[in-house]
Amino acid sequence: MSSPGAPPPPVATLAIDARDVAKTFRAGWLGRRRTPALQGVSLTVGRSVIFGLLGPNGAGKTTLLSILATLLVPDAGTATVLGLDVVRDANALRRRLNMASGRPSFLWSLRVAEIVAFYGRLYGLHGAALARRVDALVEQYELTAYRRTPYNELSTGLKQRVALAKALVNDPELLFLDEPTLGLDPDVSVRVRQHIADLRRERGMTIVLTTHYMREAEELCDEIAFIKDGRILARGTAADLKRQIRLGDVIALKLDPPRLPWLAEAPGVLRLEESDGWVACTVDDAEKRLPELLRAFHAEGVVVRNVQVREPELEEVFVELAR
């Protein structure tokens, strides 16, 4: 994993090395209506990391994921995945990748175990090895009770679990997860997230995921890239991003008296919000400003009944970047 400003890791340790990747979709008569989806994206992802792609709808996340997964050919730029070119070496690469989507679709009449087995055969599994793999995945994703249930009779959450089981059938070195917990019950989401973390920890699997759940990205991802309008706007760890965006820290205060007209003008204070008796004071640097504020309160005879300091949520970073 490379951090902002640092040189990228050596090529041999990279799972993904994309350079200036561009893609424009054409529609309409003679393809005259053009929609640029990616505009020169460069990205490196090290091996055995969980990398998150965040961005608003239509930002280019799925397009980038699809190019890296060999489902889409870029118009310009190059991309190597696991050391193989995504266009030239696509066939060899496909054996080592897999993908699960948050809106999974499989053949409606096939049963759960048959779906996993079908894809297993495509990846060269057969006989007892295939049966063992199917059984293990069905059990792992708590699908044992549904193994003979046709796909179209499954709930959204169960379909999602089938997609995850299918995505692991070839024990991929690199796994793409497009909104992996979309539509899952909270308890299942927690287990899926735990399982994603385990895949990296136990098998050293590289995982690239897109998600709309900021907490999921913050909890799982070693590094995050924000995409908007086909460009990567920022990348780094969640903490890096919060620093880069300079949203400031929030000092929440319960004061007596509750309103202080001078507080908004105090040095380092960026914003003030009041609700439920709390004053949320956004400052440039909480470590520096909190002692100053406490001294000022003491000098003015203001009683501080409660104080909490927190960093901005990743969601706030996302909103700021998406603006």
CA end-to-end span of the chain: 27
The answer to whether residues 302 and 257 touch, using CB atoms and an 8 Å cutoff, is: yes
Q: Is 141 in the site for other proteins (CB under 8 A)?
A: no
Q: Which of 20, 114, 222, 292 is the binder for other proteins (CB under 8 A)? A: 114
Q: To the nearest whole angstrom, how small is the minimum distance from the Cβ of residue 66 to other proteins?
A: 6
Among 33, 88, 121, 310, binds other proteins (CB under 8 A): 121
* Least distance (Å) between residue 77 CB and other proteins: 14
Q: Judged by CB under 8 A, which of 13, 109, 155, 194 binds other proteins? A: 109
CB of 84 to other proteins, least distance (A): 13
Dist CA 32 CA 182 (whole Å): 35
Q: Tell which positions 8-47 bind other proteins, by CB under 8 A.
A: 25-26
**DSSP calls for 88-156:** TTHHHHHTTEEEEESS----TTSBHHHHHHHHHHHTT--HHHHHHHHHHHHHHTT-GGGTTSBGGGS-H
> Which SS3 state, helix, strand or coil, does residue 65 take?
helix
With CA atoms as reference, report the closest residue to 120 among 82, 85, 79, 172.
172
The SS3 assignment for 269 reads strand
Q: For residue 215, give the amino acid letter.
A: R
Query: Least distance from C-beta 105 to other proteins, angstroms?
Result: 4
By rule CB under 8 A, what string of x and - marks binding of each residue 69-108 to other proteins? xxxxx-----------------x--xx-xxx-x-x-xxxx
Q: Which is nearer to other proteins, 69 or 290 (CB)?
A: 69
- Contact pattern from residue 153 through residue 192 relative to other proteins, giving x for each residue in contact according to CB under 8 A and a dash for the rest: -------------x--------------------------
CB of 222 to other proteins, least distance (A): 24
Least distance in Å: CB of 89 to other proteins? 12
Nearer residue to other proteins within complex by CB, 78 or 244: 78
Nearer to other proteins, 179 or 223 (CB): 179
Q: How far is the CB of 134 from other proteins (least distance, A)?
A: 13
For 15-40, the DSSP string reads EEEEEEEEEEEEESGGG-EEEEEEEE
Residue 141: CB minimum distance to other proteins, A = 16
What one-character-per-residue DSSP string does 174-241 give? Answer: EEEEESTTTT--HHHHHHHHHHHHHHHHHH--EEEEE-S-HHHHHHH-SEEEEEETTEEEEEE-HHHH
Return the number of the residue (103 or 215) whose C-beta is nearest other proteins: 103
CA neighbours within 13 Å on the CB side: how many for 285?
3
β-pair type (76-81, 14-27): antiparallel
Which residues here bind other proteins, judged by CB under 8 A? Answer: 25-26, 62-63, 66, 69-73, 91, 94-95, 97-99, 101, 103, 105-110, 114, 118-119, 121-126, 150, 166
